[in-house]
C-alpha cells in the first residue's frame, strides 16, 4: 500500500464548540502522536481524507504535511470516530510511523465460496490482527469456505499471508465456524415443544390455584 499525501492545518480551537466549527469548515479534527513526539492537534480536509479511506481502507498510511511544520510526517489512523447518521468523520487519532517499521493492524477478512448444504456459517471475527511493515500493509484477506462441512473451522492458520506479514494472534484463532443448520422439521418440532411446555406450565399454575 502506498501512502497518500494530505495537507493539514494546525488546530488551535478545542472542545466541542471548536470541533463543530472545524467540521463546518469542511475539516476533520485530528491528533498526531507517537515516537516520543508531543501530540499535535491538526485538521484534515474531510473530502480528501474520506476518499483515501474509501480507497485504501482503515489502514491507509498518510504523508501529512502540516502547515508551518519543518517536514512531512508518516502516520496511520489508530482510532476513527464516525457519525453513522451523517456518514461523516468526527475525529481521528493518527499514530506516527517510520519507513521500515513493523506495526500491528487489524485487517478485514472476507469469506468466499459456499459451505456444504444445510450448514450455517458463524463469523467469530471479521478482522485478523497481523504485523507488517508500515509501508506494505495488506488491505484485506480472502479465505475460501467452499464445500466445508458442519464442524469445520476457519482459523488464522488458513489465511495466506503476503511476504513480510506475520500473525499477531495464535494460529488456532477462530475466524468462522461451520455449524449444522436446523431443518424445517427440527424448527417446527422445537416450536411444538415450546407450545407444549407453555401448556404444561399453564396447567400446573391452574392446578396450584
Tell me: the pLDDT tens digits for 158-200?
999 999 999 999 999 999 999 998 766 666 765 555 556 556 6
Q: 69-74 long-range CB contacts below 8 Å, 24 or more apart?
A: 72/5, 73/32, 74/3, 74/98, 74/99, 74/134
pLDDT of residue 58: 86
- The chain-wide mean pLDDT, for the chain, equals 88
User: Where does 4-97 sit in CATH, by number?
Assistant: 2.40.240.10
pLDDT of residue 73: 93
Lowest mean pLDDT among 63-72, 111-120, 151-160, 187-196: 187-196
Residues of the chain with CATH 2.40.240.10: 4-97
pLDDT of residue 184: 64
Report in angstroms the alpha-carbon separations of 180 from 133, 156, 161. Answer: 40, 22, 29
How confident is residue 56, by pLDDT bands cut at 50, 70 and 90? confident
Report the candidate in 103, 85, 90, 106 with the shortest Cα–Cα distance to residue 31.
Answer: 90
| 81 has pLDDT over 60 | yes
Mean pLDDT of 35-51: 93
Which helix or strand (DSSP H or E) is residue 20 part of? helix 15-24
| 68 has pLDDT over 90 | no
Mean pLDDT of 50-74: 89
pLDDT of residue 180: 93
Mean pLDDT of 122-146: 95
Residues of the chain with CATH 2.170.120.20: 110-209
Mean pLDDT of 115-127: 95
Greater model confidence, 55 or 102? 102
Q: 24-30 long-range CB contacts below 8 Å, 24 or more apart?
A: 28/89, 28/90, 28/91, 28/92, 29/90, 29/91, 29/92, 30/91, 30/92, 30/93, 30/94
Domain 110-209, second-level architecture: Beta Complex (2.170)
Greater model confidence, 75 or 188? 75
Amino acid at each position: 500500500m502506498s501512502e497518500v499525501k494530505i495537507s493539514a492545518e494546525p488546530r488551535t480551537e478545542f472542545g466541542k464548540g471548536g470541533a463543530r466549527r472545524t467540521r463546518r469548515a469542511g475539516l476533520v479534527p485530528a491528533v498526531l502522536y507517537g515516537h516520543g513526539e508531543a501530540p499535535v492537534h491538526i485538521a484534515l480536509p474531510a473530502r480528501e481524507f474520506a476518499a483515501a479511506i474509501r480507497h485504501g481502507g482503515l489502514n491507509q498510511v498518510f504523508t501529512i504535511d502540516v502547515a508551518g511544520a519543518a517536514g512531512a510526517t508518516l502516520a496511520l489512523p489508530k482510532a476513527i470516530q464516525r457519525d453513522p447518521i451523517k456518514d461523516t468523520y468526527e475525529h481521528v487519532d493518527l499514530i506516527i510511523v517510520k519507513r521500515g517499521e513493523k506495526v500491528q493492524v487489524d485487517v478485514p477478512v472476507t469469506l468466499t465460496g459456499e459451505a456444504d448444504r444445510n450448514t450455517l456459517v458463524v463469523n467469530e471475527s471479521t478482522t485478523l490482527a497481523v504485523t507488517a511493515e508500515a509501508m506494505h500493509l495488506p488491505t484485506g484477506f480472502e479465505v475460501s469456505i467452499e464445500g466445508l462441512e458442519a464442524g469445520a473451522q476457519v482459523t488464522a492458520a488458513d489465511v495466506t499471508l503476503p511476504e513480510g506479514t506475520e500473525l499477531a494472534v495464535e494460529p488456532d484463532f477462530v475466524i468462522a465456524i461451520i455449524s449444522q443448520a436446523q431443518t424445517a422439521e427440527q424448527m417446527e418440532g422445537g416450536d411444538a415443544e415450546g407450545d407444549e411446555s407453555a401448556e404444561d406450565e399453564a396447567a400446573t399454575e391452574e392446578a396450584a390455584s
